[in-house]
Amino acid sequence: LLYERHGEPAAVVQLKDLEVPKLGDCDVHVKMLAAPINPADINMIQGTYPLLSPLPAVGGNEGVGEVLEVGHHVTALKPGDWVIPADAGLGTWRTQGVFPEEMLLKVPSDIPVLCAATLSVNPCTAFRLLADFESLAPGDSVIQNAANSGVGQAVIQIARASSIKTINVVRDRPDLPKLVERLMALGADHVVTEEMLRKPEMKDTFKSTPRPRLALNCVGGKSTTDMLRYLQPKGTMVTYGGMAKQPVMVPVSAFIFRDVRLRGFWMTQWRKDHAQDKESVATMMDALCQLIRRGQLTAPACTEVPLQDYRTALEASMKPFVSSKHILLL
């Protein structure tokens, strides 16, 4: 799926037949199996993301493929192995591709294909958010908005596996009871709407659950200010998205009297910073694959779409209140 200019995805993305390039000595020929449509993919096509691929570009930053053939100098991969992108910008919305070996990470092929296809962005983000900012212990709690997003669902499950409680904020919507039920089934301790977060009764939540030491913000605007109110003194809020397209507003008192910390996180930057640190990447991937094998981490709610129906999938991905991730089957 190729785009030659930036613009609205359904208008600029086209399905094109291209020759598969020749296999170089350090290259890997991959047959793609499945690749999701993420918000960052849409923003890259629109030209509004901080990281843009040179045009013409193939869409998609995430997905899983099977190795068909390897070049003479490739040692870490062999035909039949499953691989995912080592970094953003790979262009995963294609049936086949030839990539340099260092652009791929091997993953076990005994995990479900949809888990592997959605592994490199959201679960990794969730893992780092929970690991890198506060040293959380069993019984501690975390509050997050956009809890039904791919990252939100992964945070709930990874936290649950470590006995960390989650307070999950979602926007009010027509099918709210169904969404609450789904998040509770994943292991959420509390699910509240943004309106409920502003009500005095919210304090009752903290009779059974400690106030959070960590807040995860993917929305911005009012939602952020409301979450901050419940953060413990010296707690940390990490912003990793801005779905409301509004700034993060913090009362001065939160800084002076409660010494809260505000941080930011971008998975792409983490990967750049750790490009030479193979061990920390491997540790993270192993931990996530173990959780998947034990059934403690599942793929987000997915809608599977054949490649030729890509326009429908792109349009559906951009609608409000999307609770299901569209995955292109390649």
Looking at the structure, tell me whether residues 70 and 127 fall in a common domain.
Answer: no
Q: What is the pLDDT along the chain (330 residues), one digit of tens a residue?
A: 999 999 999 999 999 999 999 999 999 999 999 999 998 899 999 999 988 999 999 999 999 999 999 999 999 999 999 999 998 889 999 999 999 999 999 999 999 999 999 999 999 999 999 999 999 999 999 999 999 998 999 999 999 999 999 999 999 988 899 999 999 999 999 999 999 999 999 999 998 899 999 999 999 999 899 999 999 999 999 999 988 889 998 999 999 999 999 999 999 899 999 988 989 999 999 999 999 999 999 998 889 999 999 999 999 988 876 668 899 999
| Containing structural domain, residue 128 | 121-267
Residue with tokens 């959420």: 188
Is 49 known to be catalytic? yes
Pairing of strands 325-329, 302-306: parallel
Domain contains 161: yes
Judge whether 200 lies within some domain. yes
CATH number of the domain enclosing 316: 3.90.180.10
In a domain, 203, yes or no: yes
Q: Is residue 233 part of a domain?
A: yes
Looking at the structure, do residues 140 and 240 belong to the same domain, yes or no? yes
Rg (C-alpha) for the chain, rounded Å, is 20
Domain annotation covers residue 55: yes
> Residue 175: its pLDDT value, please?
86
Q: Could you say which DSSP state residue 326 is in?
A: E
Same domain, 38 and 170: no
CA–CA gap between residue 299 and residue 61 (Å, rounded)? 17
Same domain? For 98 and 165 the reply is no
Examine the domain organization and report whether 226 and 307 are in the same domain: no
Which pLDDT score is estimated for 127? 98
Q: Which helix (H) or strand (E) holds 32?
A: strand 27-36
In the chain, where does DSSP find H-type helix? 9-12, 39-46, 113-117, 122-132, 150-161, 176-186, 194-197, 205-208, 222-228, 252-256, 267-273, 278-293, 310-317
pTM for the predicted model, two decimal places: 0.92
- Res 324: pLDDT: 82
Residues 225 and 127 in one domain: yes
Residue 64 and residue 157 in one domain: no
Residue 308 falls inside a structural domain: yes
Q: Are residues 140 and 235 in the same domain?
A: yes
Residue 160 lies in a domain: yes
Looking at residue 318, its pLDDT comes to 86
Residues 16 and 105 in one domain: yes
The CATH number of residue 208's host domain is: 3.40.50.720
Domain count, the chain: 2
Q: Specify whether 128 is located in the same domain as 254.
A: yes
The gap from C-alpha 32 to its chain's centroid, in whole angstroms, comes to 19
Show contacts of 284-289: CB within 8 Å, 24+ apart: 284/124, 284/127, 284/128, 285/105, 285/107, 285/119, 287/127, 288/119, 288/123, 288/124, 288/127, 289/107, 289/108, 289/111, 289/119
Indicate which residue of 3, 49, 230, 240 is catalytic: 49
Domain shared by 93 and 148, yes or no: no
Give yes or no: residues 128 and 261 share one domain.
yes
Residue 112: cis peptide before it, omega within 30 degrees of 0 = no
Residues in Cβ contact with 227 at an 8 Å cutoff, skipping those fewer than 6 apart: 143, 144, 145, 169, 197, 215, 217, 237
